């Protein structure tokens, strides 16, 4: 089978919640600048292009990190890799306080690309897979993703409160520094919790990965279908940020209402991820993901239609479209890794498999913002958004097709 069927999710529930906490808090440092954009830029004397460079340094190193990280997750004890990653990321945050030139910031963001992706993500996903039996995979990943959503909303609220306190005293720069301190201490504290609370026997076995194992994975059609389904889902995850400028610039809503449309995603995420996981285990993973893609496509169509409406009806259609997309997107988000078990990818190769899925499935992180930016600059106003939204609909249709192939190829085999 290749799947550890002895583990029960019920017995590992608290471990799963602990991993959700760590899996959210480690990404506070690489991403917090987006929430305090202008003040961060001012404190470190950066321009918009240089702000973009920081994201590129992190993203590009991350892209190369996933596959190698998968190998490390299969070769070394994942618990040790997680503890190292959390501590190293936190120490990088403390360095961030003292080294402030652009070149050193690029190095620090590159280090975070290694510590939060190379040595962390595949190992984390591998442990999550080992916490549940083959019939509980989708709900395990769903609860994990939902937990990350709750923790993400909580630490964002804490960081915003810290920043808000200093901003009211006209000390925005000090507020940014204290947010960095918070996001540096939190992962180090998480590493200490993991050291004492994560059982040593969870996934501690390591095997020497042979070339034939890599060849087996690269030739495995189930793995590439998971890559394709992940790619289509992740494209939406990288695109919903554009709903805010669409609402304010095209529809003409207030800046606050437009921001709320995007923030809504964080409140829907925990509920949708968990619910999607449980439903998928009961009714079929690919089947539920296919319904998710259909709903995402319908949501984007309504998003485009809202530009032709007026008044209360326009606001209602716009908000409903966003909600439908978020529910479907985060439901799918909590399911796609669980397909590895259904596709009979052996557990001892899970780390490398997750590394391959992450490397290629998360490619939209690199090109989607560039594509959107180019289209919105080239075609100002409603046209640019509608061209990009049409590409989103194409991604949803492709997602449906990939799910149908999975159902035909793997679910039928299961039934036989």
63-114 pLDDT tens trace? 778 878 888 888 888 899 999 999 999 999 999 999 889 999 999 999 999 9
What percent of the chain shows pLDDT beyond 70? 94
Instruction: Name which of 249, 277, 247, 282 is nearest 262 in CA terms.
Output: 247
Band of residue 412 on the pLDDT scale cut at 50, 70, 90: low
- Is residue 267's pLDDT more than 80? yes
What is the CATH code for 1-206?
1.20.1250.20
Give me the mean pLDDT over the 386-413 stretch.
93
207-416 shares the fold of 1-206: yes
Model pLDDT, residue 251: 92
Phi, psi at 360, each rounded to 5°: -95, -35
CA distance 400 to 95: 45
- C-alpha distance across the termini of the chain, in Å: 16
Model pLDDT, residue 195: 92
Model pLDDT, residue 229: 97
CA atoms within 13 A on the CB side of 270: 15
Model pLDDT, residue 69: 86
Q: Which residue has the higher pLDDT, 169 or 415?
A: 169
Phi, psi at 210, each rounded to 5°: -95, 160
CA distance 334 to 328: 10
Phi, psi at 189, each rounded to 5°: -65, -40
Encoded tokens for 5: 């069927």
- Is residue 300's pLDDT more than 80? yes
Taking only the tens place, the pLDDT of each residue in 114-136 is 999 889 998 898 889 888 888 88
Encoded tokens for 295: 């709903």
- C-alpha separations of 152 from 22, 254, 334 in Å: 10, 25, 15
HEC readout, 132-196: CCCCCHHHHHHHHHHHHHHHHHHHHHHHHHHHHHHHHCCCHHHHHHHHHHHHHHHHHHHHHHHHH
- C-alpha separations of 308 from 302, 378, 387 in Å: 10, 22, 16
Model pLDDT, residue 416: 46
- C-alpha separations of 375 from 184, 243, 362 in Å: 37, 15, 21
Q: Please, are residues 145 and 326 in contact by the beta-carbon 8 Å criterion?
A: no
Band of residue 390 on the pLDDT scale cut at 50, 70, 90: very high
Q: Which residue ranges make up each domain of the chain? A: 1-206, 207-416
Taking only the tens place, the pLDDT of each residue in 342-352 is 888 888 888 88
Average pLDDT, the chain: 87
Give me the mean pLDDT over the 33-52 stretch.
81
Model pLDDT, residue 6: 46
Superfamily of chain region 207-416: MFS general substrate transporter like domains (1.20.1250.20)
Model pLDDT, residue 351: 82
Taking only the tens place, the pLDDT of each residue in 164-198 is 888 888 788 899 999 999 999 999 999 999 999 88
Band of residue 208 on the pLDDT scale cut at 50, 70, 90: low
- Is residue 284's pLDDT more than 80? yes
Torsion-angle region of 7 (φ positive above 0: left; ψ -120 to 50: alpha; else: beta)? beta
Taking only the tens place, the pLDDT of each residue in 373-387 is 888 888 988 999 999
């Amino acid at each position: 089978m290749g799947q550890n069927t002895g583990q029960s999710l019920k017995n590992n529930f608290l471990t799963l919640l602990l991993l959700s906490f760590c899996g959210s808090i480690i990404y506070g440092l690489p991403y917090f600048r987006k929430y305090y954009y202008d003040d961060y830029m001012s404190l470190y004397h950066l321009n918009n292009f240089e702000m973009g460079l920081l994201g590129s340094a992190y993203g590009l190193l991350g892209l190369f990190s996933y596959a190698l990280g998968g190998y490390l997750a299969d070769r070394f004890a994942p618990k040790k890799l997680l503890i190292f990653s959390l501590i190293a990321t936190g120490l990088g945050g403390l360095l961030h306080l003292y080294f402030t030139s652009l070149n050193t910031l690029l190095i620090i963001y590159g280090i975070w690309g290694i510590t939060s992706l190379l040595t962390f993500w595949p190992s984390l996903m591998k442990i999550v897979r080992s916490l549940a039996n083959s019939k509980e995979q989708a709900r395990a990943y769903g609860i994990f993703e939902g937990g990350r959503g709750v923790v993400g909303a909580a630490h964002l609220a804490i960081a915003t409160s810290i920043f808000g306190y200093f901003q009211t005293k006209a000390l925005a720069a000090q507020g940014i520094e204290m947010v960095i301190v918070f996001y540096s201490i939190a992962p180090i504290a998480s590493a200490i919790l993991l050291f004492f609370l994560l059982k040593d026997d969870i996934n501690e076995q390591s095997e020497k990965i042979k070339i034939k194992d890599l060849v087996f994975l690269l030739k495995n059609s189930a793995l590439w279908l998971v890559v394709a389904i992940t790619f289509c889902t992740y494209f939406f995850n990288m695109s919903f940020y554009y709903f805010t400028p669409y609402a304010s610039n095209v529809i003409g809503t207030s800046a606050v209402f437009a921001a709320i449309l995007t923030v809504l995603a964080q409140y829907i995420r925990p509920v949708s991820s968990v619910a999607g996981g449980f439903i998928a285990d009961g009714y079929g993973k690919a089947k539920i993901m296919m319904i998710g893609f259909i709903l995402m496509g319908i949501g984007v169509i309504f998003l485009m239609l809202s530009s032709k409406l007026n008044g209360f009806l326009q606001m209602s259609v716009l908000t409903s479209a966003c909600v439908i997309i978020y529910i479907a997107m985060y439901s799918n988000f909590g399911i796609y890794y669980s397909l590895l078990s259904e596709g009979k990818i052996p557990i001892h190769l899970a780390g490398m498999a997750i590394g391959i899925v992450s490397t290629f499935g998360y490619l939209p992180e690199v090109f989607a913002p560039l594509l959107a930016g180019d289209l919105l600059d080239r075609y100002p106003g409603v046209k640019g958004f509608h061209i990009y939204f049409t590409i989103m609909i194409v991604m949803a249709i492709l997602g449906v097709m990939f799910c149908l192939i999975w159902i035909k190829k793997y679910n039928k085999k299961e039934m036989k």
